[in-house]
């Protein structure tokens, strides 16, 4: 069968032969035993409903074995034989170009070079899933190959509920992930619902088909590192940044450190992902012995090298040893997947990677105890460094939250606030999000590197023109972004699809997108797929990350994210998504995303102007109402450019009146 025929087939009527478990692939850890015997029967019923009764007797034993061995039913047998990657859009079967673009993005999320656990359909973060099982993938791709522009596919936590009649102006796909009743959002609830096959954790861009590899976060990480050094009034040259995590999102850190121009030490316990990042050029060197790490770092600092070093081991050992050696750390953070602390997101010190995985599966209570013990040590070591002048920030991965739950010394004297700021509170919020700058991204549907180079040049020209008349308040952001896009090609950021990320405000996003659309209309480039990270101005309500610099008491509400995805839906998005859970954990955040296909038409021009304006200014208006000065400035500026925009501006209260 050809590739197109395999896509159109969906779930095969004749079962393929079982596939061997490939040990050279980075697999998800075994999930803990969470289901009762009756619940296991329910999980099997749920899995078998994808198949005709004639196949149930064969599959039931196989699926039970998967459930008992891995804690989930992945349906490995149904994994397709074709290579998984983002093909040029014309290679996909279908009646809708928009649907073909979505198929392209789904396959990019599952590309072996992109996905963290590709055989378990997990893109990043240890549990950020595109689908729960391979039947869902096959059925979704089949539906997309059949879809017309007058249908919408509804996705219920990885399950394609079906194609429904709609209209050309509607989104082609609407995705929900993990949208359980709020009272059932504890970590064990996710474990149970996911094992039953009825809900999944889509993370942010994993479950919404908009992940573009570590590049997706490298720009924001570069901005964070640069502005971190600016905050301590030190040049990155000869400076030391210490952090951990080389997985899907965190893997951007060493590359960002190189672009910023400092020495980066990034610890990672997983040998496979460490080697992958090294082979991809995202980290320069691997050091596996702490005795070798210290002199290597000292030499790099003395010579002011721009270098990234992966330490294959636990980051706690790095913090403690650097303290003993009195090796000064300028910037410190952590980007392990602490939203998922008990299932592979964070590993205890004193145990090998293999020992930890065995303990996680077979003795989860001990694993939790050891993780919390390590978190306390981790925090203690950080405290020693910050007493010497290190600037430490929480990278929005729930490090401080989980450390506090472990009893670590991370609270400020008032016993309520954390002693260290979130990077959004200190850096990204006031410097970027409040002004409307966030991670705009695009993918060249042709798959051609030359198309990506052309879009880079178009975006650069647009930003340089805008910078000529931009107000002083945002000149730094404009110059940082111009520098970024000009260096994008030489920094070799592409992993998987021909994609780019660029921090831009609403004006920048709209003008760049319109310039792309005009270039498509002229035949200069192929179709372009627009998107963004959910980690943005408007898409996510997350009290310990995206909305951590909201101080009016509303940071625990989720109106902004819900309004965002509803508004994007009727303003022209090609697909939209809304998720419970993201980088800070299940039950801790609500986040929404979108995708939009540009085809060079007048209709695409109208859609992009309407939707992108809303997508950004929804968030600015919310931040303005929270009395954030930068957002008040930005929304007033937006109202000057768009007479139909009328936003309520807050009145401020004299602090003296509150002295009672």
Which residues participate in the annotated binding site for NAD(+)? 125-126, 203, 268, 395, 583
User: Which residue, among 1, 41, 32, has the nearest Cα to 138 in the 3D structure?
Assistant: 1
The residues that bridge with 652 in the sheet, in sequence order, are: none
Which H or E run contains 578? strand 575-580
How is residue 292 written in tokens? Answer: 């070798």
Which H or E run contains 309? strand 307-312
- Is the dihedral angle over the CA atoms 248, 249, 252, 257 positive or is it negative? negative
User: Which residue, among 157, 155, 201, has the nearest Cα to 28 in the 3D structure?
Assistant: 201
Residues marked as binding? 125-126, 203, 268, 395, 583
Euclidean distance between CA atoms 84 and 580, whole angstroms? 27
Which H or E run contains 84? none
Euclidean distance between CA atoms 97 and 101, whole angstroms? 6
User: Which residue, among 380, 474, 475, has the nearest Cα to 434 in the 3D structure?
Assistant: 474
Which H or E run contains 240? strand 240-244
Euclidean distance between CA atoms 639 and 422, whole angstroms? 30
User: Which residue, among 318, 316, 296, has the nearest Cα to 307 in the 3D structure?
Assistant: 296
User: Which residue, among 44, 65, 52, 53, has the nearest Cα to 13 in the 3D structure?
Assistant: 52
How is residue 548 written in tokens? Answer: 């951590």
Q: What SS3 class is residue 259?
A: helix
Alpha helix (H) ranges present in 487-581?
506-521, 559-571
Q: What SS3 class is residue 74?
A: coil
What string of H, E and C letters represents the secondary structure of 147-177? CCCCEEEEEECCEEEEEEECCCCCCCEEEEE
Q: Which residue has the tokens 């954990």?
A: 585
Euclidean distance between CA atoms 622 and 564, whole angstroms? 11
Q: Which residue has the tokens 């991204």?
A: 441
How is residue 24 written in tokens? Answer: 């050279």
To the nearest 5 percent, what fractions of the chain are helix, strand and coil? 45, 15, 40
Query: Which residues, 6+ apart, have CB-to-CB distance to 150 below 8 Å?
Result: 165, 166, 167, 168
Euclidean distance between CA atoms 431 and 393, whole angstroms? 15
Instruction: Please work out, in degrees rounded to the nearest 5, the angle formed at the alpha carbon of residue 341 by the alpha carbons of 310 and 21.
Output: 75
User: Which residue, among 225, 195, 202, has the nearest Cα to 39 in the 3D structure?
Assistant: 195
The DSSP call for residue 464 is: H
Query: Which residues, 6+ apart, have CB-to-CB distance to 190 below 8 Å?
Result: 127, 178, 199, 201, 581, 586, 587
């Amino acid at each position: 069968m050809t590739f197109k025929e395999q896509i159109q087939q969906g779930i095969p009527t004749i079962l393929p032969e079982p596939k061997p478990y490939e040990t050279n692939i980075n697999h998800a850890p075994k999930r803990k035993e969470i289901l009762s015997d009756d619940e296991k029967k329910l999980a099997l019923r749920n899995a078998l409903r994808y198949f005709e009764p004639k196949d149930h007797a064969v599959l039931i034993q196989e699926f039970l074995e998967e459930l008992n061995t891995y804690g989930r039913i992945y349906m490995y047998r149904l994994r397709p034989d074709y290579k998984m990657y983002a093909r040029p859009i014309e290679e996909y079967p279908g009646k809708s170009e928009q649907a073909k673009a979505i198929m392209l993005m789904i396959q990019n999320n599952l590309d072996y070079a992109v996905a963290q656990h590709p055989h378990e359909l997990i893109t990043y973060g240890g549990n950020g899933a595109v689908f729960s099982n391979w039947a869902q993938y096959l059925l979704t791709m089949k539906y997309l190959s059949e879809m017309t522009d007058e249908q919408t596919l509804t996705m219920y936590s990885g399950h394609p509920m079906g194609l429904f009649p709609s209209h050309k102006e509607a989104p082609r796909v609407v995705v929900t992930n993990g949208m359980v009743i709020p009272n059932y959002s504890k970590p064990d609830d996710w474990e149970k619902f996911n094992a039953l096959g009825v809900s999944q954790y889509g993370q942010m861009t994993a479950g919404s088909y908009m992940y573009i590899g570590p590049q997706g976060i490298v720009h924001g990480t570069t901005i964070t590192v640069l502005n971190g050094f600016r905050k301590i009034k030190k040049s990155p040259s000869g400076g030391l940044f210490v952090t951990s995590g080389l997985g899907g999102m965190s893997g951007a850190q060493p590359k960002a450190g190189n672009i910023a121009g400092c020495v980066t030490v990034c610890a990672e316990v997983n040998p496979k992902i460490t080697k992958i990042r090294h082979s991809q050029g995202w980290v320069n060197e691997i050091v596996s012995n702490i005795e070798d790490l210290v002199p290597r770092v000292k030499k790099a600092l003395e010579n002011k090298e721009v270098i990234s070093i992966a330490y294959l081991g636990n980051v706690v050992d790095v913090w403690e040893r650097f303290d003993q050696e009195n090796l000064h750390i300028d910037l410190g953070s952590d980007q392990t997947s602490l939203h998922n602390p008990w299932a592979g997101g964070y590993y205890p010190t004193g145990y090998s990677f293999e020992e930890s995985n065995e303990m996680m599966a077979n003795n989860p209570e001990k694993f939790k105890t050891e993780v919390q013990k390590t978190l306390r040590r981790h925090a203690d070591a950080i405290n020693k460094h910050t007493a010497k002048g290190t600037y430490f920030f929480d990278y929005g991965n729930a490090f401080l939250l989980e450390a506090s739950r472990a009893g670590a010394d991370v609270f400020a004297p008032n016993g309520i606030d954390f002693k260290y700021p979130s990077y959004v509170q200190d850096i990204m919020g006031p410097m970027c999000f409040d002004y409307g700058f966030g991670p705009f991204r695009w993918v060249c549907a042709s798959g051609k590197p030359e198309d990506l180079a052309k879009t880079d040049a178009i975006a650069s020209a647009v930003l340089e023109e805008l910078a000529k008349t931009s107000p002083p308040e945002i000149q730094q952001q404009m110059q940082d972004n111009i520098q970024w896009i000009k260096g994008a090609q030489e920094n070799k950021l592409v992993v998987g699809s021909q994609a780019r990320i660029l921090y831009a405000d609403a004006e920048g996003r709209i003008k760049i997108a319109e310039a792309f659309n005009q270039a498509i209309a002229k035949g200069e480039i192929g179709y372009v797929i627009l998107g963004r990270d959910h980690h943005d101005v408007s898409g996510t309500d997350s009290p310990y990350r995206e909305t951590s610099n909201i101080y009016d008491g509303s940071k625990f509400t989720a109106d902004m994210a819900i309004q965002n995805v509803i508004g994007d839906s009727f303003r022209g998005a090609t697909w939209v998504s809304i998720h419970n859970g993201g980088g800070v954990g299940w039950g801790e955040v609500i986040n929404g995303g979108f995708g939009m296909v540009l085809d060079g038409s007048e209709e695409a021009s109208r859609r992009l102007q309407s939707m992108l304006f809303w997508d950004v200014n929804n968030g600015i208006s919310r931040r303005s109402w929270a009395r954030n000065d930068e957002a008040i400035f930005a929304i007033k500026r937006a109202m000057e450019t768009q007479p139909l925009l009328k936003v309520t501006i807050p009145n401020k209260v004299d602090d003296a009146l509150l002295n009672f």
